[in-house]
Structure 1
Amino acid sequence: MSTRNARALAEFGSVSVAMVTPMHPDGSIDVDAACALATRLVDDGADGLVLNGTTGESPTTHQPEKDALVRAVVDAVGHRARIVAGAGSNDTQHAVRIAQGAERTGAHGVLVVSPYYNRPSQEGVYRHIHQIVESVDLPVMLYDIPGRTGVAIGDEILDRLAQHDRVLAVKDATGDVPAGFERMRRTGLAFYSGDDNLSLAWLAHGAVGVVSVVGHVVAGAYAEMVERIGTGDLSRAQDLAVELAPVCDAIMGAGQGAVYAKAALELLGAIPHRTVRSPLVEADESELTDLAERLRALGILAA
């Protein structure tokens, strides 16, 4: 294993859950429920948690709330798992403030996504990310998800960012495993699967871990998949991927991941409410019934 991969595993873990932000029915953040959920996920096999990312509804949560959430979860499970905080915004100075708040409140690292919606040039993407990286003394995982942001982290700027000592990893949600394979070999950066249904493919191509939404309900299975790939037991890893495919479809295939992850967690009794903030809309009773039937069929929800 390369030195950078080893550093990334030490800083970010190998099985991170992109954690939802539990909310009370009025939309305020339920910090107690967040700490209970974080404990459950670590007990289930996660060795990392990503807070205040897209699944955590980062576009509609605000600085004091983000900081309070990070501080509470670090206090609850930071001695057992790596806590990474999202520092995403299409306003560079805003993203810097989020990153600095994460550092002050005890996060172990930051996840930095390319700026969304305003679609800057590649040089603009580089300067945005580089300024965030320079604003804190935390290890950084880049997040490449052009389907959401509208702009990719291109090869040339990835190579430049890879020269920074604190940029250790990439969460890749491009869907392009062959390109990612070439990029990880070229840059030396550690790669993490950002697409649940491609986790086996990423791991088999050299990714060191996963950042998963579906891990809210099957973190242990992902932990086993990572372990099996590491020991060369591809057959068992393939079996796990087959078992996980319908779970991925149940959580990610029917709508927005945060909505269905929260619905699943409410059904499992892991959070009190499936509340989301507008413009997201919580799963309705029909959708909840359908999800419950699917989770029961998969043996995740008791009959």
Structure 2
Amino acid sequence: MTVVDPPPRPFGRALCAMVTPFTAAGELDLDRAQKLASDLVAQGCDGLVLNGTTGESPTTTDAEKAALVRAVRDALGPGIPLVAGVGTADTAHTVELARQAERAGADGLLVIPPYYSRPPQAAVEAHFRRVADATGLPLALYDIPGRTGTRIEPETVLRLAGHPRIVAVKDCAYDLLGTTKVLARTSLAYYSGCEETNLPLYAIGGAGFVSTVANVAPRQMRAVLDAFDEGDTALAARLNQRTAALAELMMASGLPGTVTVKALLDAGPVREPLQPADREAVDGLRAAYEELVQEPTTEL
């Protein structure tokens, strides 16, 4: 039997894109954030991504972002990877947020291409290099053209892979061929950012996932990777299929993942322009959630 070296996993395998808890009045709830972070780690998350899309980064202030990282770091102590989302449409602002995250105790950075202005690939590359040069932290590129309007093309990723602090990609591009090409030619760690690609990407050499659904089902999401690593690919497939109904409702029902997580989790309201899920959506989410969590994560 050929032994294959595991892929690099600079931030672990099973990461949760954590929501940002708010009080009923809409203020940052750091006590609740600390409890949620501790619970997620206790239930199998290797690391957390803070201040990402699921964390409502477009509507939290710079000061709130720093306070969240500091509070979660204080709660977890050292050793649990914390990756901070710092991407904005402005390179200078992104650099400042990267430095702020480093000071607050982050272990890594998650950076999107600048959105709305739709820069060409040379400008995208220059943007990432500026941010990577600004701190001593490892950086993950976040390829999510459906939100940013700009792809990080595989050839651009290949060039950026030579930077010593660019170590990973959060992949929401739905391009397994392009991903396979980069995996074959670099040592970058690829994390699935879309639940439906968690297992397929892992099977072709990905490092793991950054999951929104893991906010409410961390053990179930991790169990898929555990089964695959143990060599039981059939069980991994079955466990993955069991998460599909909830993942579809949470991520592909027309509601943002932040909204669906907060419909299931005691994490306070969402901030406008987001609106809470209606009763029908909440009932459907709860039914799918209850069905999933009642299923065993291993075969008898």
TM-score tier (shorter): over 0.9
Residue 154 of structure 1 corresponds to which residue in structure 2? 153
Could you tell me how far apart the structure 2 residues matched to 1:176 and 1:206 are?
Answer: 14
CA contact (8 A) 1:85 1:111 kept: yes
Provide the alpha-carbon RMSD of the alignment.
1.7
Question: Which segments of 5 or more consecutive residues in structure 2 lack a partner in the other structure?
Answer: 296-300
SS of structure 2 residue aligned to 1:85:
strand
From the superposition, tell whether residues 65 and 300 of structure 1 become closer, same or farther in structure 2 (CA, over 3 Å): farther
1:283-302: CA deviation from partner (whole Å, max 9, x where unpaired): 1333223322332333469x
1:60-81: CA deviation from partner (whole Å, max 9, x where unpaired): 1111100000000011114352
1:195-230: CA deviation from partner (whole Å, max 9, x where unpaired): 111111111111011100011122112222222222
Q: Does 1:93 align with 2:92?
A: yes
Counting only pairs closer than 5 Å after superposition, residues 1-303 of structure 1 correspond to structure 2 as 5-6=7-8, 9=9, 11-254=10-253, 255-266=255-266, 271=267, 273=268, 275-299=269-293
Could you tell me how far apart the structure 2 residues matched to 1:193 and 1:264 are?
Answer: 23
CA contact (8 A) 1:217 1:300 kept: no
1:257-283: CA deviation from partner (whole Å, max 9, x where unpaired): 1110111113xxxx3x2x111111111
CA contact (8 A) 1:47 1:80 kept: no
> Which one has a larger percent helix, Structure 1 or Structure 2?
1
Shift of 1:145: 0.5
Could you tell me how far apart the structure 1 residues matched to 2:79 and 2:134 are?
Answer: 26
Task: Give the TM-score of the pair, scaled to structure 1.
Answer: 0.91
Could you tell me how far apart the structure 2 residues matched to 1:166 and 1:21 are?
Answer: 27
Could you tell me how far apart the structure 2 residues matched to 1:56 and 1:287 are?
Answer: 21
Shift of 1:141: 1.0
Could you tell me how far apart the structure 1 residues matched to 2:149 and 2:289 are?
Answer: 33
Runs of 4+ in 1 over 4 A off after TM superposition: none
Question: Which segments of 5 or more consecutive residues in structure 1 lack a partner in the other structure?
Answer: none
> Which amino acid in structure 1 is aligned with residue 91 of structure 2?
T
SS of structure 2 residue aligned to 1:141:
strand
SS of structure 2 residue aligned to 1:72:
helix
SS of structure 2 residue aligned to 1:160:
helix
Q: What is the percent sequence identity of the aligned residues?
A: 43
SS of structure 2 residue aligned to 1:250:
helix
Could you tell me how far apart the structure 2 residues matched to 1:102 and 1:78 are?
Answer: 16
> Which amino acid in structure 2 is aligned with residue 295 of structure 1?
Y
From the superposition, tell whether residues 2 and 169 of structure 1 become closer, same or farther in structure 2 (CA, over 3 Å): farther
Could you tell me how far apart the structure 1 residues matched to 2:292 and 2:168 are?
Answer: 33
Which one is further off, 150-159 or 50-59?
150-159
CA contact (8 A) 1:192 1:209 kept: yes
SS of structure 2 residue aligned to 1:298:
helix
Which one is further off, 203-212 or 154-163?
154-163
SS of structure 2 residue aligned to 1:277:
coil
CA contact (8 A) 2:85 2:109 kept: yes
SS of structure 2 residue aligned to 1:24:
coil
